[in-house]
C-alpha cells in the first residue's frame, strides 16, 4: 500500500513564472496579478474515533486590469497558460466598460520585503494520513480511558501566495500551518482548547488533551451565580476572541468619519479626527503587528502588495496608529499601513495559575463564544462563556458555574486589565491570558 503525501504544490519559481506570463499578455495601462495555491488535509474525530478525512488542493489566479481610473478583475482556477491568457483578456474587456473609480490609486511600485523566510516545515507539508491517524488514536485513547466523549480536528495546510504587477512589483511566500482542536464532554461538563503552529512538532497535543479532559471532568454539576460585574481571569484562547475586535476597529477612515470608538467629536457631535496618542487602555497593554514573531513566522506582504512589517499598534496603553488604506492615506497625507494583523499582544512571565492565586473572588473563563456587536460605535459586544467556567475564591478554583452572557465595552475592558499571563499562539495571533476587573455579565445561559 502506498500512502499519499501532500507534495504537488507548485514551486515559488513556477508561481512567479505564471505571474510574469500573465503580465506579458496584458494590453491594459496597468495590471495586477494575485496567485494563491494551497493543499490542506483535515481529519475529524468524534465519540473517540476518527469520523472523516478530507484532502483538498486549490489554485486561483486573479487579474485586475486598469485603464486610467477604470478597473475590473477576473480569475481562473486553471493552471494552463491558455486559460490565464483568456482571464487577462476578460479582465481587460470588463475594465474597458467599468465606471471610473473615485477612490482610484496608482499601482503600487516595486517593494522591498523583509529578508527572511516565512515558516515552512517540510515534515508538516508531507505529513501522511497514517501519522495523523496515529496522533488521533492517542487522543481518543486518552479520552476513552478518562470516560469522556472526545471530539475535534487535526489539520495542516501548505500555502503559497504570489503577487506581481506591471510596475515591477513581485513577491512570493510559502507557509505551513498545523492545527489541533479538542473538545471533551462528560454529562453536563465540557471543555475545549486549540493549538496552532507552523510546524506539527510544535503542537502540544497530548498535554492539551490531558488538560482539556481534566477541566471537563471538573466542570460537571455547575452551580448558578448572580450576574453582575466580576473580576475575571481569561485563558489566552478567550482573550483571543475579544482583543481582535478592538484591532479590527482601528480603521482610520471609520475613525475620521465618526463611525468608530476611536473617533473624536466636537460639542455638536461632528467628527474632528481620531484619538491616536491618547491614553485609552491600561499602560501594561502592548500590542503590535509582527508576522516575524517566532510563534507565527507568517508572510512578508499583504494581498495588495503592502509590506507586512512590524508595526506598533498600542504601546503603554496608547494607540500609536490606525489602519490606513492606500486611498485614505493619500487623502490624509499619511503612509499606508496595510492591515493590522497578525496581532501580537505582550504578556508576562506569570502563569494562569498565578493570576488565579492573586484573585480573592472572581470568575475563570476558558472560552468566549459567539461574540457579536451590540454597538459598533462604542465597541460594546455580547457573547457567552463556554466549555468550563469556574468561580474563584481565595486564590483557588472553588467550583464550576453555569455559563453567563456578557455585555462589555471592549476598550473599557482593556482599561481594566490588572495582570497578564504568558502569551501563546491562538490561531493566527499571539495572546496572553488576562485578569480584568469589572467585567459585566448580564444573564445566565443554558449553554454547556
pLDDT digits (tens, 9 = 90+) for 26-49: 999 999 999 999 999 999 999 999
Overall pTM > 0.85: yes
Place of cell 480573592: 360
Between CA 54 and CA 64, with CA 160 as vertex, the angle to 5 degrees is 110
Please determine, for residue 289, whether its predicted confidence score (pLDDT) is greater than 50: yes
Dump pLDDT digits (tens) for 57-106: 999 999 999 999 999 999 999 999 999 999 999 999 999 999 999 999 99
Provide the pLDDT confidence category of residue 1 given band limits of 50, 70 and 90.
Answer: very low
SS3 at position 138: helix
Q: pLDDT at residue 369 above 70? A: yes
Q: In the predicted model, is pLDDT for residue 161 greater than 50?
A: yes
The pLDDT score that the predictor gives to residue 310 is: 98
Cell of 116: 527572511
Instruction: Calculate mean pLDDT across residues 20-27.
Output: 98
| Rounded-to-integer distance, Cα 375 and Cα 262, Å | 13
Asked if residue 137 lies in contact with residue 32, where contact means CB atoms within 8 angstroms, the answer is no
Q: What is the DSSP string of 31-79?
A: EEEEEEEEEEEEEEEETTEEEEEEEEEEEEEEEEEEETTEEEEEEES--
**Set of cell numbers at residue 78:** 486553471
In this prediction, residues 153-177 reach a mean pLDDT of 98
Residues of the chain above pLDDT 70, percent: 98
Q: Would you state the pLDDT for residue 6?
A: 43
pLDDT band at 9 (very low <50, low <70, confident <90, very high): confident
Q: Which of these ranges, 260-269, 290-299, 360-369, has the smallest mean pLDDT?
A: 260-269
Q: Calculate what percentage of the chain has a pLDDT beyond 90.
A: 96
Peptide bond into 238 cis (omega under 30): no
pLDDT at 234: 98
Lowest mean pLDDT among 122-126, 148-152, 353-357: 122-126
Position 7 pLDDT exceeds 90? no
Backbone angles phi, psi at 215, to 5 degrees: -70, -35
Domains of the chain: 12-211 (3.30.2290.10), 222-448 (no CATH)
pLDDT-derived band at 8, boundaries 50, 70, 90? low
Helix/strand/coil percent split, the chain, to 5: 25, 40, 35
The CA distance from 346 to 350, in Å, is: 12
Query: How many CB atoms are located within 10 Å of the residue 349 CB?
Result: 8
Say what angle helices 12-25 and 81-97 make with each other, to 10 degrees: 50
Task: In whole angstroms, give the CA distance from residue 286 to residue 432.
Answer: 11
Distance CA 23, CA 39 (A): 26
Q: What is the pLDDT averaged over residues 417-434?
A: 98
pLDDT score at 151: 98
Task: Give the whole-angstrom CA distance, residue 355 versus residue 419.
Answer: 7
pLDDT number for residue 267: 87
What mean pLDDT comes out for the span 347-373?
98
Average pLDDT over residues 322-333: 97
pLDDT at residue 5, rounded to an integer: 42
Residue 3 has pLDDT above 80, yes or no: no
Is 278:316 a contact under the CB 8 Å cutoff?
A: no
pLDDT at residue 269 in the model: 84
Mean pLDDT of the chain: 96
Of 1-15, 168-182, 241-255, the least confident: 1-15
Amino acid at each position: 500500500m502506498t500512502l499519499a503525501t501532500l507534495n504537488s504544490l507548485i514551486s515559488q519559481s513556477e508561481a512567479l513564472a505564471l505571474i510574469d506570463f500573465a503580465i506579458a499578455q496584458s494590453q491594459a495601462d496597468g495590471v495586477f496579478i494575485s496567485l494563491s495555491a494551497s493543499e490542506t488535509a483535515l481529519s475529524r474525530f468524534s465519540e473517540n474515533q476518527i469520523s472523516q478525512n478530507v484532502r483538498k488542493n486549490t489554485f486561483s489566479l486573479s487579474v485586475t486590469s486598469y485603464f486610467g481610473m477604470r478597473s475590473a478583475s477576473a480569475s481562473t482556477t486553471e493552471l494552463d497558460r491558455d486559460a490565464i491568457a483568456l482571464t487577462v483578456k476578460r479582465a481587460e474587456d470588463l475594465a474597458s466598460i467599468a465606471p471610473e473609480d473615485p477612490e482610484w490609486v496608482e499601482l503600487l511600485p516595486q517593494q522591498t520585503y523583509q529578508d527572511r523566510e516565512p515558516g515552512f516545515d517540510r515534515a508538516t507539508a508531507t505529513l501522511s494520513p497514517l501519522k495523523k491517524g496515529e496522533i488521533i488514536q492517542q487522543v481518543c485513547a486518552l479520552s476513552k480511558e478518562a470516560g469522556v466523549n472526545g471530539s475535534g480536528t487535526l489539520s495542516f495546510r501548505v500555502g503559497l501566495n504570489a503577487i506581481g504587477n506591471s510596475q515591477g512589483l513581485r513577491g512570493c511566500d510559502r507557509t505551513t500551518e498545523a492545527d489541533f482542536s479538542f473538545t471533551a464532554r462528560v454529562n453536563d461538563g465540557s471543555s475545549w482548547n486549540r493549538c496552532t503552529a507552523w510546524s506539527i512538532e510544535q503542537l502540544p497535543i497530548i498535554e492539551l488533551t490531558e488538560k482539556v479532559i481534566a477541566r471537563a471532568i471538573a466542570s460537571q454539576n455547575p452551580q448558578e451565580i448572580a450576574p453582575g460585574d466580576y473580576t475575571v481571569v481569561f485563558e489566552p484562547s478567550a482573550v483571543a476572541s475579544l482583543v481582535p475586535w478592538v484591532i479590527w476597529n482601528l480603521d482610520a477612515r471609520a475613525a475620521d468619519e465618526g463611525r468608530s470608538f476611536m473617533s473624536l467629536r466636537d460639542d455638536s457631535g461632528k467628527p474632528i479626527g481620531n484619538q491616536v496618542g491618547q491614553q485609552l487602555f491600561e499602560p501594561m497593554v502592548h500590542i503590535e503587528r509582527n508576522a516575524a514573531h517566532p510563534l507565527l513566522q507568517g508572510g512578508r506582504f499583504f494581498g495588495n502588495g503592502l509590506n507586512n512589517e512590524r508595526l506598533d499598534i498600542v504601546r503603554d496603553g496608547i494607540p500609536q496608529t490606525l489602519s490606513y488604506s492606500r486611498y485614505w492615506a493619500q487623502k490624509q497625507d499619511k503612509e499606508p499601513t496595510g492591515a493590522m494583523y497578525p496581532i501580537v499582544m505582550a504578556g508576562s512571565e506569570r502563569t494562569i495559575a498565578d493570576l488565579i492565586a492573586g484573585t480573592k473572588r472572581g470568575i475563570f473563563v476558558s472560552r468566549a463564544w459567539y461574540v457579536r456587536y451590540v454597538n459598533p460605535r462604542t465597541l460594546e459586544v455580547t457573547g457567552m462563556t463556554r466549555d468550563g467556567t469556574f468561580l474563584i475564591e481565595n486564590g483557588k478554583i472553588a467550583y464550576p458555574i453555569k455559563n453567563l452572557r456578557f455585555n462589555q465595552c471592549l476598550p473599557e475592558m482593556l482599561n481594566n486589565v490588572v495582570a497578564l499571563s504568558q502569551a501563546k499562539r491562538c490561531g493566527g495571533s499571539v495572546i496572553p491570558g488576562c485578569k480584568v476587573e469589572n467585567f459585566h455579565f448580564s444573564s445566565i445561559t443554558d449553554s454547556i
